[in-house]
C-alpha cells in the first residue's frame, strides 16, 4: 500500500476529535490524536507505506485510550462536594402550617409533624440540608 498523504491523516484525526464532541466516550479523541501525530511524522517522510502509518496511528491511539481514558472520565465527571453545609442551629421552634418556625425562619422537616398542631413548641436539635431535626415527643 502506498504512503497516505499527511493531509488525509490530519483530516481523519481532526474529524475523530470533532466526533468526540458528539459521542463523548474519550475513545475518538485519543485515536484522533494518534492520527494527528502520524500526520506530523508523515509530513517529514518518516513512513514508507500506508499500512505502517495506519498501524502506528491506531497503536498510538489505543495506547492513549488505555492509558488516559479512565483519567479523562474522572476529570470530566468530577462532582462538587456533596457535603451540605450544616447550620447547627438549635433551639425552640413553633409549628406553623406544617413547618417549624424558629428565629424568624420557616424550616421544613422530615420528621412527622402530624401529631403537632399549629402553635405547639418543639425542640430543634439540628438543621441539616435545610431541614429541621426535632427531638422526639415524649
Domain ranges for the chain, please list them: 6-76, 91-134
Where is 61: in which H helix or E strand? helix 50-76
What is the model's pLDDT at position 85? 58
From residue 79, alpha-carbon distances to 70, 86, 90, 128, 130 in Å are 15, 19, 30, 20, 21
Indicate the length of the chain as a whole number: 138
- pLDDT at residue 42 greater than cutoff 70: yes
Tens-place pLDDT, residues 86-134? 566 788 889 988 899 988 889 888 888 888 889 999 998 888 888 888 8
Assess contact for 19 and 29: CB atoms under 8 A.
no
Assess contact for 30 and 64: CB atoms under 8 A.
yes
Taking the CA atoms of the chain, what radius of gyration do you get in angstroms? 31
Contacts of 131 (CB under 8 A, 6+ apart): 107, 108, 109, 110
Q: To the nearest whole number, what is the mean pLDDT of the chain?
A: 87
Q: What is the pTM assigned to this prediction? A: 0.56
Amino acid at each position: 500500500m502506498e504512503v497516505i498523504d499527511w493531509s488525509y491523516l490530519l483530516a481523519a484525526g481532526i474529524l475523530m476529535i470533532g466526533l468526540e464532541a458528539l459521542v463523548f466516550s474519550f475513545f475518538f479523541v485519543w485515536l484522533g490524536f494518534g492520527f494527528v501525530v502520524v500526520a506530523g511524522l508523515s509530513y517529514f517522510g518518516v513512513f514508507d507505506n500506508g499500512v505502517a502509518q495506519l498501524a502506528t496511528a491506531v497503536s498510538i491511539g489505543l495506547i492513549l485510550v488505555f492509558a488516559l481514558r479512565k483519567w479523562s472520565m474522572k476529570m470530566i465527571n468530577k462532582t462538587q462536594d456533596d457535603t451540605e453545609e450544616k447550620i447547627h442551629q438549635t433551639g425552640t421552634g413553633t409549628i406553623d402550617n406544617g413547618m417549624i418556625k424558629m428565629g424568624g425562619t420557616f424550616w421544613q422537616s422530615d420528621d412527622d409533624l402530624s401529631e403537632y398542631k399549629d402553635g405547639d413548641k418543639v425542640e430543634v436539635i439540628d438543621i441539616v440540608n435545610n431541614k429541621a431535626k426535632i427531638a422526639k415527643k415524649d
